[in-house]
A and B are shown apart, each in its own frame.
Chain A
Amino acid sequence: MALDKNIIDRWQKSNILLLGGSAGSFKLIFSIIKNFNADLNKTVIIIIHRKKNFYSEIEKLFAENSRMLFREISDKDKIRDNTIYIAPANYHALIEKEKCFALDVSDAIWYSKPSIDVTFESAADVYKNNCTAVLLSGANQDGAEGLLKLRKSGSLTIVQDPKDAEMPQMPEAAVNINAAEFILSSNQILELLKTEA
């Protein structure tokens, strides 16, 4: 199925790409960021659920396979273009009006810290309609409320087709509350995010 012109247009116009994923989302996120050129002219923010204490290979793999700058978020980091950020394990990552990150160690949400909801809601507050947000495979309900808030603020919201996701619960939760403007297969998501401005 060919992609809608409207969706390509809005992806190209947005400055921030938010990727939220949990169980079963790693491979797709990996492929997405591997495709990006160093001069994407956007900021990519990844929130991926994972265990604390295991200094995971995820950060290393992403950093080694990305042409864009790749950085695990530190508190008060300025948010820059052409950079991929990943929320650190065991912290929530929020965005300040001054376009910098602020970390938070408060309670886990949906047993998750980092929580996708927290970052998505905060991004909606600061960036309004300037984001493209993609919610991927996962086994809980994190991200749905945050995605809805992004949709209401005018950002482009995409959910991985639950039929296509390894773990359908997370995308389903978002579809159920009508947070998804578009429901796309993993191939369509890859295809869309490959198109450059």
Chain B
Amino acid sequence: MDTTTGYLTVPQLNELIDLIKKVHGFDFSNYSKASLKRRVLRIMQLKKLEFYDLKHTLVNDQHFFQEFLDEITVNVTEMFRDPSFYKALNNQVIPYISSYQHIKVWSAGASSGEEVYSLAILLNEVGLRKKSFIYGTDINSEMLKEARKGIYSLRKIKSYAENYQFSGLKGSITDHFTIMYDAATIHSELKQNTLFSVHNLISDNIFNEFQLICCRNVFIYFESELQEKVLDLFYNSLAPLGFLCMGSKETIRSEKFKKKFKVINYKENIYQKIGT
């Protein structure tokens, strides 16, 4: 792919960020600039738009804005991404939370639902499905429509087979889907205790109290200050001794929050809320 021809200066990128905030209400100002810039350039190339056309289209074409949002909020995800994480969750977190009467789980940055359903499969396999409830949230309402359907191409599901196998769960990933031609639909009982809704980590508040929050590979798109702000939201959304799972290359760096979380698994970045 040629990503070298496009050109976008820092002031131009900031101008776009301001414009999107004013017109559409999404605030990307504290997003990591390198990847944001790369994705804006990518959509400029795909759509063959120069900077000024891009600005004009962003203001005047609501349909285009949705496409733009899909492109710049990365929606690439896998079921059972990082199988070793699911193993750790099963060994180190599940035994602890299984003693609760109700288990509320929040998957933040749920995108098209792969993580929510991976968690649903895991909870089902360990016999906790009926007393647990998983909330999947994202800023992208179109993605959530896909998530609610729980239908994936068979090709995609097959590409997750290896992840599933390494996660330590028995059987195969296709056991949890009904397959018709090239579409795989997640079993309806796995969808029962899930809810997908729009939530913006940057501008929205606490909406419930959770025993487990998974927010994996979302922090990588935020600058350090914004990461800290979102950590605060998670801390306040966790029940005492609740668990926070971040991506395997995302760590809590802020001294303030290092004191408020205990490391449960250093490699998989699983933390437990301590203190009050």
A interface residues, Cβ below 8 angstroms from B: 53, 55, 73-76, 88, 90-92, 94-97, 102-107, 109-110, 117-118, 121-122, 125-126, 145-146, 148-149, 152
Contact = CB atoms under 8 A, between A and B. Distances in A.
B84 A55 contact: yes
Interface of B: 1-4, 10, 32-35, 37-39, 74, 76-77, 81-84, 162-163, 166, 217, 219-221, 224, 227, 247-251, 253
A97 B33 contact: yes
Nearest to A179: B4
Contacts of A148: 4
B1 A102 contact: no
Contacts of A118: 3, 38
A150 to B, nearest CB: 10
Contact of B74 (A88, A104, A109, A110): A104
A152 B10 CA distance: 19
Contact of B3 (A55, A96, A126, A145): A145
A103 B35 CA distance: 8
Given A102-B220, A105-B220, A122-B38, A75 B33 contact: no
Among B2, B3, B166, residue most surrounded by chain A Cβ atoms (within 10 Å): B3
Contact of B76 (A53, A106, A125, A146): A106
B249 A94 contact: no
A96 B251 CA distance: 18
B115 to A, nearest CB: 12
A11 to B, nearest CB: 23
Contacts of A146: 4
Contact of A102 (B32, B39, B247): B32
